[in-house]
Amino acid sequence: MITSILRPPPIIARMAFFAVLLGAWEWASRMGMVSRFIAPPPSEVVPAIGLLYHDNELVTRFLRTFGQVFAASGIGAALGMIIGWWLHHNKNAGRAFTDWFAAIAAAPLVLLFPLFLVLFGRNASTIIAMGAVAVLPPIILKTKEGLDHVPPVLINVGRTFNLTRWQHIRLIMMPASLPTIFTGLRLGLVFALINVVGVEYLIGFGGMGLMIAELGDRFEVAGMYAAILFVVLCSACFFWFTARLETWLLQTR
């Protein structure tokens, strides 16, 4: 009993941590230790989300941004899994290029936006292309990692049953590597969201990123924080959804 009190469930510990953090933020802002023009108290930020809905077309901007995120994620996931399979299948290519993709994954790809702006113009194509490029490295690396670590015994079982190439991929390779590939998909989704919102902010076009830029230009600091908080919460929800989808696929495979 004492042990269970000292070690609360993770969700309780997480909520308690955020409650303490928000309480400290509220207290510091109200006591004047932090300027309201830098960090307004949470009691002003949270209600501002409702104002975003009424005054800044929150739903329309949300759908625009996350439509671009899903388009970029879909393109990046399709290309990334194909390239990851190629790096796994072609051992020489894997040894030659895997480190390159690892280096690209660590690079600030958002800085390439002037090049994409010249290539595609100031429109949604630039934002989707930037998001897709950001998605590629983690999915390529995790696809290759997952396929490389399929247990040899499963591969030998497939050979024993004389499976065709497609059956071997569908029944053995993909199910065995699915958890690792989904890790890459979740990372890719986060990278796509970061880059899409960032490029929208930089080029002044799009949805949530443009909203954040406009609120900052009008010195509506509480509204700006509310928009950022809304993006973070949506990102967490999508991350949770992909985790549940992975669990469901693993149970039904």
For each successive 10 residues of the chain (253 residues), what is the average pLDDT? 58 79 83 79 81 78 89 93 91 88 84 87 89 92 91 82 80 85 87 89 85 85 86 82 77 65
User: In this structure, is residue 202 part of a structural domain?
Assistant: yes
Q: What 8-state DSSP symbol labels residue 1?
A: -
User: In this structure, is residue 40 part of a structural domain?
Assistant: no
User: In this structure, is residue 82 part of a structural domain?
Assistant: yes
Closest CA to 138 of 104, 175, 92, 176: 104
Q: Do residues 204 and 138 lie in contact, with contact meaning Cβ atoms separated by under 8 Å?
A: no
Give the type of residue at 170.
R
Place of tokens 């399929």: 150
What is the model's pLDDT at position 5? 53
What is the model's pLDDT at position 1? 47
Three-state secondary-structure class, residue 253: coil
User: In this structure, is residue 213 part of a structural domain?
Assistant: yes
User: In this structure, is residue 44 part of a structural domain?
Assistant: no
Sequence-distant (6+) residues with CB within 8 A of 148 are 88, 94
Place of tokens 């830098």: 38
Secondary structure of 110-166 in HEC code, one letter for each residue: HHHHHHHHHHHCCCHHHHHHHHHHHHHHHHHHHHHHHHHCCCHHHHHHHHHCCCCHH
Task: Tokens for 167, please give them.
Answer: 């059956």
Give this prediction's pTM.
Answer: 0.81
Place of tokens 């509204």: 223
Give the type of residue at 63.
L
Closest CA to 139 of 91, 214, 75: 75
Query: What CATH number does residue 166 fall under?
Result: 1.10.3720.10
Domain count, the chain: 1
Q: What 8-state DSSP symbol labels residue 218?
A: T
User: In this structure, is residue 34 part of a structural domain?
Assistant: no
What is the model's pLDDT at position 105? 82
Sequence-distant (6+) residues with CB within 8 A of 146 are 176, 177, 178, 179, 180, 181, 184
The 3-state DSSP composition of the chain as helix, strand, coil percent (nearest 5) reads 85, 0, 15
What is the model's pLDDT at position 142? 92
Rounded Cα distance, 55 and 222, in Å: 14
User: In this structure, is residue 15 part of a structural domain?
Assistant: no
User: In this structure, is residue 17 part of a structural domain?
Assistant: no
Domain that holds residue 113: 52-252
What is the model's pLDDT at position 3? 52
What is the model's pLDDT at position 183? 86
